[in-house]
Amino acid sequence: MAYIKLYLYTVPIFFAIDMLWLGVIAKQFYQTRLAHVLAADVYWPAALVFYAIYIAGILLFAVIPGLRARSLHKTLLHATGFGFFTYITYELTNMATLPNWPLSMVVIDTLWGVVLCSSVAAAAYGIGIRSTPTAPRLSR
């Protein structure tokens, strides 16, 4: 039950950070580099499924191990790795298969993946550590 609660608290954090990046900060960056492949509208069913799975991945591979160890450092180390490997895989696959995928997109978006995952994981760790004062409540 604690994991479900933590997931539900993490969802709006992820959305807020990612939407700020995609919709405000880097909007022009993406539009100028990817206009040739961007859809006119977001296909929200696919986007929402992606977000649901990706947030679960951050919790599973970074936050929960960090909470079990009661270590923000471990959480951040795992989140950085998760963000890097997932985003670089996506970016290099796009570069290999889509026309004119820019190297600047590979670099910037991969760095964004690291920042996003680390930020979300740190926030989720903070929520989790406050709501679970003893380790046994989070153990299997």
Can you state the percent helix, strand and coil of the chain, rounding each to 5?
A: 85, 0, 15
- Inform me whether the pLDDT recorded for 133 exceeds 70: no
Q: What is the pLDDT averaged over residues 81-93?
A: 98
Both tokens of 34, joined, read: 């990817």
| Average pLDDT over all residues of the chain | 93
Both tokens of 16, joined, read: 């807020």
Q: Tell me what pLDDT residue 135 has.
A: 46
Q: What is the pLDDT averaged over residues 103-121?
A: 98
Q: Tell me what pLDDT residue 137 has.
A: 47
Residues 6 or more apart whose Cβ sits within 8 Å of residue 59? 3, 6, 7, 10, 124
- In angstroms, the CA 130 to CA 54 distance is 23
Q: What is the pLDDT averaged over residues 10-32?
A: 95
